[in-house]
Amino acid sequence: MQTRQSELLFSQARALIPGGVSSPVRAFGSVGGTPRFLVRGSGSKIWDADGNEYVDYVGSWGPMILGHAHPAVIKAVQEVAANGLGFGAPHPLEVELAKAVTEVYPQLQRLRFVSSGTEATMSALRVARGYTGRDYILKFKGNYHGHADGLLVEAGSGALTFGQPSSAGVPEDYAKLTLVGRYNDAEALEGVFARHGERLAAVIFEPVMGNAGVIPPTEEFLSALRRLTREYGALLIADEVMTGFRLAPGGATERYGLEPDLVTLGKILGGGLPAAAYGGRAEVMAQVAPEGPVYQAGTLSGNPLAMAAGLATLRELAENPGIYEKLEQTGALLQNGLTEVLQAAGAPFSINRVGSMITVFFTEGPVTTFDDAAKTDTAIFKKFFSGLLDRGVYWPPSAFESGFISAAHTEEDIFKTVEAARAAF
């Protein structure tokens, strides 16, 4: 496979951009080789600067649930762009998209558009602090909620502890306002609330963990989250930036029957363009300026291009409800095919899948916690990833990320992927 153009572009980029990329995982640091510079996408396929074609399981890290360059989405963006790219003022499409969201997320009585998932989670936590008058938050090891200072925090020496910075530039005193718990550990959750519940403004969690690989929640864990937050007066924030609209029309909130106080959304919400949102109960969202004292603003928030792309995407999902059944079937076909290949290869593995989100862990299963996921053999994953890439399959370049299936993926795509995995081993 020829990669000369990508190699040249990466060399030039490293002289101008830290690491040569605008987001760390794109640098292929954990898998080696040259990151592909992608120039075109259509349906389930992407093409790089050298003209190589790939079946894509990254999907811009989740937004492309309909596939790349879906005609309805492209048409909507083109029509809006012809009238101007943005105004820094209210636009009718904001109202239309907000209505489309609340139709499938009735828990979001009010919402505010922003431009990124990081903005959404950061703002939701600020609202929770303003509403409760409390300072502390609880997150879970292995859950990723964007790169705001208070969220770039990892667990200390204890099972449930005050956070410690996981990035340079994050003040220790600020990190200490974040407690870090164990995902899927209801007993430990009881303990942290017994010790700190009266000080907690909010608990934020991924309903399905995706940034440590796909790890679904247990019923016991979800039940404990809702019961304890209500008992102690903390807000429950479901971070659905990744799962929103993907696991069901109403995301993981619908799929698991969640009752969050606030929800954060992104990725699919923008249809491939930068858009996100946070929202929830009307009384909580009344804290947001200009109605309330919690300030949050953004120049490009609710910009018409992103609103058009997001609205077109949600309309396609609403008008074609069979998409979710198709995604489930395609996901099962891929999971079964990879299971057969890896069993024959004798590799230690466990495949976690929830709907159209999938991760292959190269460790003996089951994988139900972050500590389980951390045992994955990254050397075997590198072999798996490189074998697929060399044979025209673009898998997420990290052992700890979710792969994404789109409505555009076909049985032929799945067959090619399974055969590429077979050849890799």
Annotated catalytic residue within 239, 261, 372, 413: 239
Burial of 325 (0-12, 13-18, 19+ CB in 10 A): exposed
Examine the residue annotation and report whether 261 is marked as an active-site residue of this protein. Answer: no
Q: Of the candidates 38, 155, 123, 81, which has an alpha carbon nearest to the alpha carbon of residue 298?
A: 123
Active site residue 173: no
Strands (E), 70-177: 110-114, 136-140, 153-154, 161-162, 164-165
Using a 10 angstrom Cβ sphere, with 0-12 exposed, 13-18 middle and 19 or more buried, the burial of residue 60 is: middle
Angle between helices 411-424 and 322-345 (to 10 degrees): 20
Q: Is 144 a catalytic residue?
A: yes
What is the helix (H) or strand (E) element at residue 203, kind and residue range?
Answer: strand 200-205
Contacts 24+ apart (CB under 8 A), 76-79: 76/308, 76/309, 76/311, 76/312, 77/273, 77/305, 77/308, 77/309, 77/312, 79/308
Contact at 8 Å (CB) between 135 and 281?
no
Strand 393-394 to strand 53-56: parallel, antiparallel, or no bridges (unpaired)? parallel
Q: Which helix (H) or strand (E) holds 91?
A: none
Tokens matching residue 361: 């862990």
Q: Which of 54, 131, 144, 183 is catalytic?
A: 144
Among the listed residues 267, 324, 382, 413, the single catalytic one is 267
Residues known to be catalytic:
144, 239, 267
